[in-house]
Structure formats: C-alpha cells, structure tokens
Amino acid sequence: MMGASDRSGVLLVDKPAGPTSHDVVVRARRALGTRRIGHTGTLDPFASGLLALCVGAATRIASLLSALPKRYEAEMTLGTSTTTDDPTGETVATTDDWKRLEVGRITESLLGQIGPLDQRPPAFSAKKVQGERMYRLARAGRAPPVEPVRVVVHALEITAIRLPVVHFLIVCSAGTYVRAIARDAGDRLGVPAHLSALRRTRIGDLDVADAVALEEISDPVAVQPAWRAPLDVLHHLPHFDVDGRGADDLRNGRATRCQRCDPPCDVGIAAHEARLVAIVRCDDGWLRPRKVFA
C-alpha cells in the first residue's frame, strides 16, 4: 500500500469543517501506517480546506511549507461578535447597526488592511504566551494582553456583499488570523463582527483542487494523485543540481562546490537525479548542508 512507513512525501488533504487539524493527522497515521506525520499550518475546526501533511522524512521540510502565503475564501458576518471571533464562540455583542452601513465603508474596512499589518492575535488562538497556548489561558480567564504581530495581507478581494454577510478572498502571510481581519473590520465600522466561514484553497502553489477528501484517505487509488514528492513542493526555493559526488558530500555533512552561487542564499535545495538531497546554504561558491536526506 502507498502508506508504507518508509515513504516520504507530502499528502494534500481537503479537511471538512468539524475535525481539528490533529484529528486529520491521527486519521492519516492510521491510513498510511506511520506515526511520522505532521501538518504545515493549523486549520481551525470550523474551517475547511487544504492541509499539507508531511510524511516520513518530509516532516523535516514542514517549516519551509508553513512559511508560504495562504489563500482563503472567507465570510464575515456583521452585527455579532463572539469570544473566539468565529462561529464556535459565545456571543459577546449584537446589534442591527449594520443596516445603516454604506457599501463603500464596508469595502474600506477590509481593503484598508491590505499590506503590512500589526495584528492582535485572537484571545482564543494556538499562539503561545509564557509557554502556554492562548486558548487555554482564555478558557481559564487568564488571557494576558498580547503584543500585535507583524503580518502581511498580500491581496484581498470582496466577492459578494449580502448584508449582514460579506464574502471575500484573501492571500496572506503565515501567521495571519483571518478571523482577526473580520474582527478588526468590525472595529473600523463601529459594529461587532466575526468570521462566520473559512476555506483554505492554496498554500503557496499547492491547491485544494488536487487534494484527497478526508473520507477517502484510506483509499490508495484516491490518495495517489494527492501525493507529492518532497522536491516537488519546494519550487519556491533556489534549486541546485549536484552530481553523484556532490550528493555524497552533502549527505555526509560536507560542503560541495557550486557552479552557480550568485546570488548567495540562506535556504536552497540540492537535488540529484530528481531527488532531494539536502536543504543547503549557498555562499562563496559552496553548497553547505543544513538538513540532509537519505
């Protein structure tokens, strides 16, 4: 079966609303017959869409995928705020003042967040504060004030306004909370708001259209088209082909000569015969291994 424990790669999964990202990992471990699986960015239980699961040795490239921009289809509901800034929380405030809002103001409340942004993470989030997850502190009534985090909204497009609901597409940096985008849009408008639906459609150039449905994850035939070799998900990094001797050097922790190391880079990939050999640093005409792969 495809899930042999020595298989290394990335599996694209379409998570439905409901299960946690960890629930998906647990099911994948059973289906693929290995415990060595991790994901590349949490999706909240109410959200659906793309999870990229790193399997086997590919868990070592998870951080390189987690850092990629994400694309979402989102839905904001005006007039109600919640403790979690999403539909799973308790209602904090309600109003029908949204009925008096002009479309132009609603549009600006979202489009005005495009670009670099100092964003306050939601109280109920997985961000760690003093070594504990914020959602645990919030549930215990001990959530401390949190400093804003610099994130980037690369693009945002409003696709429909059917008040009190606003639909939009957003492309944002890793670490961006889309529910905070909705919360802050409400603050700009002077009305409570929360993110009522969310679907992740892309991670970098990985697309949910190529993902396997969670209920089919035990079917090798359904899984195969959603499987990616480690080298195939790292196109965003500088690529260096090495010969057999160079591959041996890198796999044994030694630097190897590079024919084209201009400009230098801190993170690149070295490949031999279309297989990932190492994550490398390139400088002064040398490829220096950072992580090596058998």
Question: Radius of gyration over alpha carbons of the chain, in Å?
Answer: 22
Q: What is the mean pLDDT of the chain?
A: 91
The pLDDT of residue 136 is 59
Crossing angle of the two packed helices 103-111 and 178-189, in degrees rounded to 10: 140
Instruction: Write out the two tokens for 24.
Output: 């998906």
Q: Does 123 score more than 80 pLDDT?
A: no
Identify whether 97 is a catalytic site residue.
no
User: CA 244 to CA 38: how far, in whole Å?
Assistant: 31
The pTM of the full predicted model, rounded to 2 decimals, is 0.89
User: Per the residue annotation, which of 6, 14, 23, 44 is the catalytic one?
Assistant: 44
Which residue is listed with tokens 């985008």?
181
Alpha-carbon distance values, 168 to 94, 150, 197, 291 (Å): 22, 22, 10, 39
Task: Give phi and psi for 166, each to the nearest 5.
Answer: -125, 125
Q: Does 4 score more than 50 pLDDT?
A: no
For residue 258, which amino acid is it? C
156, 166 in Cβ contact below 8 A? no
43-57, 174-188, 224-238, 261-275: least confidently modelled range: 261-275
Q: Does 153 score more than 60 pLDDT?
A: yes
Tell which residue, 192, 198, 197, 228, has the closest CA to residue 210: 228
Q: What is the pLDDT of residues 244-263, one digit of tens each?
A: 999 999 999 999 998 777 67
Q: Does 138 score more than 80 pLDDT?
A: no
User: CA 199 to CA 61: how far, in whole Å?
Assistant: 24
- Please, what are the domains in the chain? 9-66+205-230 (3.30.2350.10), 70-203 (3.30.2350.10), 237-292 (2.30.130.60)
Q: What is the pLDDT of residues 41-84, one digit of tens each?
A: 889 999 999 999 999 999 999 999 999 999 999 999 999 999 99
